[in-house]
Amino acid sequence: MLTGIGRTAAIACLLVAQSPAGAQDAADTTVETAQADAGVEAVAAPEAVPAPDVRKDFTFRRVGLPTAGVGKRITVQVDPDAEIYRITPGQSPRRPGDPRPKAALQLPEGVVPEAPTDWDWYWALVSPDRGTDSAARFSAAMATIQKEALKIGTPRLQMLQGIIDEHGSDILMSTVGTQVSPALVLAVIAVESGGKVKAKSHAGAQGIMQLMPATAERFGVKDSLDPRQNIKGGVAYLDWLMNEFNRDPVMALAGYNAGEGAVMAYDGVPPYAETRGYVPKVLAAWNLARTLCSTTPDLVSDGCVFVGPRLANDG
Q: Is residue 35's pLDDT more than 50? A: no
Per-residue pLDDT, 149: 86
Q: Is the pTM of this model over 0.85?
A: no
Question: For the segment 156-175, what is each residue's pLDDT rounded down to a tens digit?
Answer: 999 999 999 999 999 999 99
Q: How far is CA 91 from CA 14, 42, 79, 84, 260, in A?
A: 93, 94, 16, 10, 16
The segment with the largest mean pLDDT, out of 21-30, 83-92, 110-119, is: 110-119
Domain 81-292 -> CATH class: mainly alpha
Per-residue pLDDT, 22: 46
Per-residue pLDDT, 102: 43
Please report, as a single letter, which amino acid is at residue 306. F
Mean pLDDT of the chain, nearest integer = 76
Question: For the segment 224-253, what is each residue's pLDDT rounded down to a tens digit?
Answer: 999 999 999 999 999 999 999 999 999 999
* Span of 4-13, 14-23, 74-83, 189-198 with lowest mean pLDDT: 74-83
Interatomic CA distance for residues 256 and 263, integer angstroms: 10
Domain limits, the chain: 1-35, 81-292
Question: For the segment 110-138, what is each residue's pLDDT rounded down to a tens digit?
Answer: 334 455 458 999 999 999 999 999 999 99
Question: For the segment 145-157, what is each residue's pLDDT rounded down to a tens digit?
Answer: 999 988 899 999 9
Question: For the segment 251-300, what is each residue's pLDDT rounded down to a tens digit?
Answer: 999 999 999 999 999 999 999 999 999 999 999 999 999 999 999 999 99
Interatomic CA distance for residues 218 and 81, integer angstroms: 10
Give the residue numbers marked as catalytic. 192
Q: Is residue 313's pLDDT more than 50? A: no
DSSP secondary structure of the chain: ---HHHHHHHHHHHHHHH-TTHHHHHHHHHHHHHHHHTTPPP-PPPPPPPPP-GGGG------PPPPTT-S--------HHHHHHHTSTTPPPPPTTPPPPGGGGSPPTT--PPPP-TTHHHHHHS--BTTS-HHHHHHHHHHHHHHSHHHH----HHHHHHHHHHHHHHHHHHHTTSS--HHHHHHHHHHHTTT-TT-B-TTS-BTTTTB-HHHHHHTT-S-TTSHHHHHHHHHHHHHHHHHHTTT-HHHHHHHHHH-HHHHHHHTBS-S-HHHHHHHHHHHHHHHHHGGGBSS--SSTT----B-SS--TT--
Percent of the chain with pLDDT strictly greater than 70: 60
Interatomic CA distance for residues 111 and 286, integer angstroms: 32
Per-residue pLDDT, 218: 97
Per-residue pLDDT, 114: 52
Per-residue pLDDT, 150: 85
